[in-house]
Chain A
């Protein structure tokens, strides 16, 4: 019973996370895991479109920032509670994803990728000129005083991101192993043939882009409370977009667990490098790893493992 195992693992991870918040005092751990998990959600979301469906999104940072600034604006205007902010951010991100989905009607392959990049930069320019949320100069965001059942707000944010990660992985796993996933794979391999074999290509692509948009935007929504100072440079950071691509590519894009493996490995390497060496060198590591994997092992770690097992079985 593979299904049961998966859900048991999910629940176990959530319980472990909660126990962790009750027993660890060093906030550093929560900061670090939050960043890694945020990368994981972004990577899993990217892979739903990029890995399963075959459309490259270079504008991941744009989707993320839409969540960030929805959150900033709603918090400033109405002081809404976090769950409401998350929901609204999800809806707006989903609508943006839906728009990207309709874009695939006219734009294939490279053109789609460039259009996503362009969209992200248009959004960035708008935010740069939107004084209400701080414009180019940025803005401070206060963490709410009460932190529910947690000792402090960072623990709450950590737990939130953990729940989001589990949800993202569950959605991605469902999409890849269900009939929808088979349809998406057919689209990735050959969209024209898929349509002629009865696959409702537009509908499936819309599901794919919308799921990606919702997840990326929700991943961005808690960010203002996490960093407490937001400006376009941090919200639209190139590293966010690069990680969203690098993590699935390194882990392996064909399976739902590929981006999870990639995100955990790359996330840990990055956090270690940032602390022990320097943050620029950390960026360099990501770039070099990405290029190395794309050129040497395009199927990622999962692909390398599968090949190795095939060879071993053949002996």
Chain B
């Protein structure tokens, strides 16, 4: 039986008077693929911000590999093995693609990387996702789909045990979506657990082993893709009353 890697209990986050997340709990096993869906403003992004440490939750607990990381800053969590990609790509624009990957290798994965082999390892990651021909290109000039790939490659360079992928495919064409999905499958095959946030249903359904649905800051459904899609509450949340 695989072990619990992430355990979120009773998470609440408020912005002023607005409750973005209301006592939401979720968990993830090692190597698992979890889909997190819900309409806009349902709290998905807030949830992953609280998991990655970009925001600190008001109530509840976040445990990672059995340790309580609730108040921990984002860079500490990254060092422990939580990586994320951003919905709007945030490359380090003054650096090449390869240099972009060196940052997480030298910071997040510092204790787990041989200082002399940083560039080689960055190159290996690029090869794994078929991106090595772009290694020396400036990251600011990449196309949208390549920026998404860079986001994932860079997250991977943090050598995570858990990757949170925030809408890595929004706005991409069908074949580009397949490219990204393939990368995410490869990544998962190396043993990384993945939380996928996505609006493209086809992709989430294909990728996730289990899906959690958020609506208005609350968890309204959880189950296999098949169970979730036939849940009347989910239909209501998506289609309205």
Whole-angstrom distance between the Cβ of A197 and the nearest chain B Cβ: 4
Tell me which residues from 170 to 225 in chain A have a Cβ below 8 Å from any Cβ of chain B. 179, 182-183, 185-186, 188-190, 192-202
B93 & A189 in contact (Cβ 8 Å cutoff): yes
Query: Nearest residue in B to A190 (C-beta to C-beta)?
Result: B90
Q: Which of A192, A199, A202, A254 contacts B103 (CB 8 A)?
A: A199
A198 & B90 in contact (Cβ 8 Å cutoff): no
- Against A, the Cβ 8 Å flags (1 = close, 0 = not) of B103-124 are 1101111100000000000000
Question: In the docked arrangement, what's the CA distance between A198 and B107, Å?
Answer: 5
A190 & B103 in contact (Cβ 8 Å cutoff): no
Q: Which of A183, A196, A199 contacts B83 (CB 8 A)?
A: A196
Tell me which residues from 79 to 113 in chain B have a Cβ below 8 Å from any Cβ of chain A. 79, 83-84, 86, 90-95, 99, 102-104, 106-110
Give chain A residues whose Cβ lies under 8 Å from the Cβ of B44: none
Query: Nearest residue in B to A254 (C-beta to C-beta)?
Result: B94
A198 & B95 in contact (Cβ 8 Å cutoff): no
Tell me which residues from 91 to 117 in chain A have a Cβ below 8 Å from any Cβ of chain B. none
Does B73 make an interface contact (CB < 8 A)?
yes
- How many of chain B's residues touch chain A, expressed as a range? 20 to 34
Give chain A residues whose Cβ lies under 8 Å from the Cβ of B103: 182-183, 186, 194, 197-199
Q: Which of B53, B54, B73, B154 contacts A197 (CB 8 A)?
A: B154
* Contact A193 to B110, CB < 8 A, known contacts A198-B75, A198-B104, A198-B158: no
Give chain A residues whose Cβ lies under 8 Å from the Cβ of B154: 197
Give chain B residues whose Cβ lies under 8 Å from the Cβ of A186: 92, 95, 103, 107
A199 & B94 in contact (Cβ 8 Å cutoff): no
Does B52 make an interface contact (CB < 8 A)?
yes
A185 & B74 in contact (Cβ 8 Å cutoff): no
B95 & A189 in contact (Cβ 8 Å cutoff): yes
* Contact A196 to B84, CB < 8 A, known contacts A182-B106, A186-B103: yes
Q: Which of A179, A195, A254 contacts B73 (CB 8 A)?
A: A195
B106 & A179 in contact (Cβ 8 Å cutoff): yes
* Contact A185 to B92, CB < 8 A, known contacts A192-B54, A196-B54, A198-B104: yes
Give 17 A-B pairs besides A193-B90, A193-B91 with Cβ atoms closer than 8 angstroms.
A182-B102, A185-B94, A186-B95, A186-B107, A189-B93, A190-B91, A190-B93, A195-B53, A196-B74, A196-B78, A196-B83, A196-B84, A198-B75, A198-B107, A198-B108, A198-B158, A199-B103
A–B Cβ pairs within 8 angstroms, 14 of them: A182-B99, A185-B94, A186-B103, A189-B91, A190-B93, A193-B86, A194-B103, A195-B54, A195-B74, A197-B83, A197-B103, A197-B108, A198-B107, A254-B94
